[in-house]
Chains A and B, each alone.
Chain A
């Protein structure tokens, strides 16, 4: 993770991250990126300071009648005198014969165990269920593999955890935060192998029971199948 990070989340997204307005999946991707990106941490710090300075009450809270009761109830609780040490989570992720170190938040998520499934030749993915607004998965691309060309309805974020991949628009290395919006059609490929964390906003809803295909690569397969069918007809 020592190489310079070249691709970052845009400022407005960092702002929404700090506000707590992003989905859990997207927040996880930003948090993981920031663990290795001092620039974005600074941006987030500045955004938070600004937000706090502007923090005021737009809607007045009707003081509950039993305010005194609430205060009493609270101040009778014991205080924490020391940080409760969080249970240490292993940062290691083992994929085949490869061992990589994960950002803290992803290590936490992966600690429940990952279930890898082959999506296409040389490409596997392990979905993690974080929320209903996004589809999140770890993606492992073996050296020399290529994802089918695809586009998607929502924004897709690929956070590079290890190795490199490239597409029509550039090459991405460790900690790069790559955003592809619905207008992009792209085909990720890798020479040396790559492990990513991917977040797809607004999951695709298939009415035909193709639930397994609701990830970007799955969608591409779905489109391919449809195209082949059309050709046959």
Chain B
């Protein structure tokens, strides 16, 4: 294990900087405090990785008007548009840990959530049959993005030293994630926080990286 991490040092340099520690829970009196200078992506990552309320308030302030406008356009009903703002932003909060940087920007991600929510709300309001939902119509690519347990066990049977030579062939982003999880033995949450990426991105990079490694090992054998 030691050998392995040494040989990987050139990759790990950039990632060992610890982020400044932030309180996980912000007092409630801060409810309307915002962080105007952060990008949408940074805010979403903060919401997903550490339930950052101030970051969420900022997203709320930035997107509620836009979601309302979308709701008015699609439903032509003020009450429904109001409901949409609340329901869509609730979903942004709930799904933030699943946000994946590799699949697009935060605006696009929030847009998709709002549009899908609006589609389902409108169908419900019109009492249309529930046999199909927005998530069936606009599926997220690779939705079942979790690393399968069977795959993980399959990988463990391969010698680490054997795998070492393949690491260099991985894209750096995937390598960094695999290193955090398998070499430094960090939890997904810790690794996401260290690398400053959303948990969802970490999981998809881990899955892609492991798949690639498995293919490389398989090809060689």
Name A's B-contacting residues (CB within 8 A). Answer: 19-21, 24, 27-28, 31, 48-49, 51-53, 55-61, 63-64, 67-68, 70-72, 74-75, 77-83, 85-86, 104-105, 108-109, 112, 128-132
Which of B28, B53, B96, B128 meets A131, CB within 8 Å? B128
The reply to whether B69 and A59 form a contact with Cβ atoms under 8 Å apart is: yes
A132-B111 Cα distance, complex, nearest whole Å? 26
Name the distance in Å between A229's Cβ and chain B's nearest Cβ. 36
Which of B9-17, B130-138, B162-170, B209-217 is the interface stretch?
Answer: B130-138
Given contacts A24-B128, A31-B138, A78-B94, contact A71 B146 (CB under 8 A): no
Answer whether residue B186 sits at the interface, using C-beta atoms and an 8 A cutoff: no
**Complexed CA–CA distance, A51 and B79 (Å):** 24
Chain A residues whose C-beta falls within 8 Å of the C-beta of B28 in the assembled complex: 72
On chain A, the residues within 8 Å of B85 by CB distance are 61
Q: Evaluate contact between B143 and A105: CB separation under 8 angstroms.
A: no
A168 to B133, CA, bound (A): 36
Is B77 close to A, CB under 8 A? no
B98 touches A83 (CB 8 A): yes
Knowing A19-B115, A131-B123 are in contact, say whether A74-B68 is a contact too (CB < 8 A). Answer: no
Shortest B187–chain A CB gap in Å is: 11
Q: Is the CB of B108 within 8 A of A48?
A: yes
**C-beta contact mask, B86-100 vs A, less than 8 Å → 1, else 0?**
100110011111100
List the B side residues contacting A74 at CB < 8 Å. 56, 86, 89-90, 93
**In the complex, A105 Cα to B134 Cα: how many Å?**
10
Decide: B94 and A79 in contact? CB cutoff 8 A. Answer: yes
Known contacts: A57-B68, A109-B131. The answer to whether A52 contacts B107 by CB under 8 A is: yes
Query: When the two chains form the complex, which single residue of A81, A82, A130 contacts B132, counting CB atoms closer than 8 Å?
Result: A130
B72-118 interface with A by 8 A CB criterion: 72, 74, 82, 85-86, 89-90, 93-98, 105, 107-108, 111-112, 115-116, 118
Q: What is the bound-complex CA distance between A56 and B107, given in angstroms?
A: 11
Using known A-B contacts A60-B65, A132-B126, determine if residue A104 contacts B31 with beta carbons closer than 8 Å. Answer: no
Residues on the B chain within 8 Å of A86, using CB = 135, 143-144
Residues of B within 8 Å of A78, CB to CB, are: 94
Q: B176 → chain A, closest Cβ, in Å?
A: 21
Add 11 more A-B contacts to A24-B119, A28-B137, A58-B69 (CB < 8 A): A24-B128, A56-B69, A59-B72, A71-B53, A77-B94, A80-B97, A85-B144, A85-B146, A86-B135, A108-B136, A129-B131
Nearest Cβ distance between residue B97 and chain A, in whole angstroms? Answer: 5
In whole angstroms, how far apart are the Cα atoms of A27 and B138 in the complex? 9
Please encode chain B, from 24 to 57, with 1 for each CB lying within 8 Å of some chain A CB and 0 for all others: 0000100110000000000000001001010011
Q: Can you name the residue of chain A whose Cβ is closest to the Cβ of B106?
A: A52
Q: How far is the CB of B132 from chain A (nearest CB, A)?
A: 6
Which one, B86, B94, B98, B105, contacts A70 given CB within 8 A?
B86
> In the complex, what's the smallest C-beta–C-beta distance from B204 to chain A, in angstroms?
10
Cα of A132 to Cα of B127 in the assembled complex, Å: 10
Q: How far is the CA of A48 from the CA of B111 in the complex (A)?
A: 9
Taking a contact as CB atoms under 8 Å apart, the answer to whether A59 and B68 are in contact is yes
A-B contact pairs, 27 of them (CB 8 A): A21-B74, A27-B137, A31-B137, A48-B112, A51-B111, A52-B107, A55-B66, A56-B66, A58-B72, A61-B65, A61-B85, A68-B31, A68-B32, A71-B32, A72-B28, A72-B31, A74-B56, A75-B53, A79-B48, A79-B51, A79-B96, A83-B143, A105-B139, A108-B131, A112-B131, A130-B128, A132-B128
In Å, the complex CA distance between A59 and B95 comes to 27
A212 to B90 CA separation, bound complex (whole angstroms):
43
Give CA–CA (A20, B123) in the complex, Å.
Answer: 12
In the assembly, what is the distance between CA of A82 and CA of B51, in Å? Answer: 15
Q: How far is the CA of A83 from the CA of B58 in the complex (A)?
A: 25
In this complex, the member of B48, B74, B105, B129 whose beta carbon has the largest number of chain A beta carbons within 10 angstroms is: B129
B60 is an interface residue with CB less than 8 A from chain A: yes
Task: Note all chain A residues with C-beta closer than 8 A to B64.
Answer: 61, 63
Complex CA–CA separation, A55 to B85 (angstroms): 15
The chain A residue with its CB closest to the CB of B31 is A68
